[in-house]
Homo-oligomer: A and B are copies of this chain.
């Protein structure tokens, strides 16, 4: 089963488009976890156990593990393994934003897909297709290309006009028509602008979109869901990180978010 089918099956099984973002910044963990020998793993197990029943995907933000060195990398691997063992049907995303020349991208793909066992990875298009190819060649994994990101300055490059089109539109078109030959591409489509979400949906057909920027980054959930759903009423991976994992009641926050999303489906 490829990553897209895996995601869709989980969406149906738990009636959810929610992705829980494990941005487990060690400095922000509750004090009880910071005393643990493996604080990020202990915290992640807690969040996974509390929220998995509402989650169609989990996303690990690589930076917060790298900032904890080799111990962080080990806890990342252990967290992925824990999640996979408990919930083999959940899509597990590495938010890594990688891309490099060929042999280097091959090594990143090995790290993320083979060694850590992720189902999907976020990738940066600036180096062009050949830098993405080593990832694209994993036909059963998902390659989630950065199209429109949710940071305040995303327009600086992504909205530049190329032949009367913004650069992000070109990324969406190339992904849909060229890069997804294996049917394994998705796009990062910011939840901060519903009109542009609708344009992206129009370009990519039923392709799945990873949506950051809901919650802490302020996107409008109703408008984004209505603009982004595909013809099957799915096609969105709606991420929430800090709003769930650092909530007083993560299970309640995840459940509330699933419900809020479904209210607009």
A104 close to chain B: CB less than 8 A: yes
Q: Would A77 and B69 be within 8 Å (CB), given that A97-B100, A151-B127, A153-B129 are in contact? A: yes
A34 to B232, CA, bound (A): 51
The stretch of A2-10, A105-113, A245-253 in contact with B is A105-113
The stretch of A60-68, A200-208, A257-265 in contact with B is A60-68
A71 to B73, CA, bound (A): 9
Identical subunits present: 2
A128 touches B153 (CB 8 A): yes
B167 touches A160 (CB 8 A): yes
A67 touches B97 (CB 8 A): no
A170 close to chain B: CB less than 8 A: yes
B126 touches A157 (CB 8 A): yes
A68 to B99, CA, bound (A): 18
Pick from B63, B101, B128: contact of A158, CB below 8 A.
Answer: B128
A40 close to chain B: CB less than 8 A: no
Within 8 A of B (CB), among A91-107: 95, 97-105, 107
Pick from B111, B151, B163: contact of A101, CB below 8 A.
Answer: B151
A25 to B152, CA, bound (A): 37
A63 cross-chain contacts in B, Cβ below 8 A: 98, 100, 104-105, 107-108, 111
- Chain B CB within 10 Å — which of A67, A155, A162, A217 has the most? A67
Q: Would A70 and B66 be within 8 Å (CB), given that A128-B155, A157-B125 are in contact? A: no
A23 to B100, CA, bound (A): 13
A137 close to chain B: CB less than 8 A: no
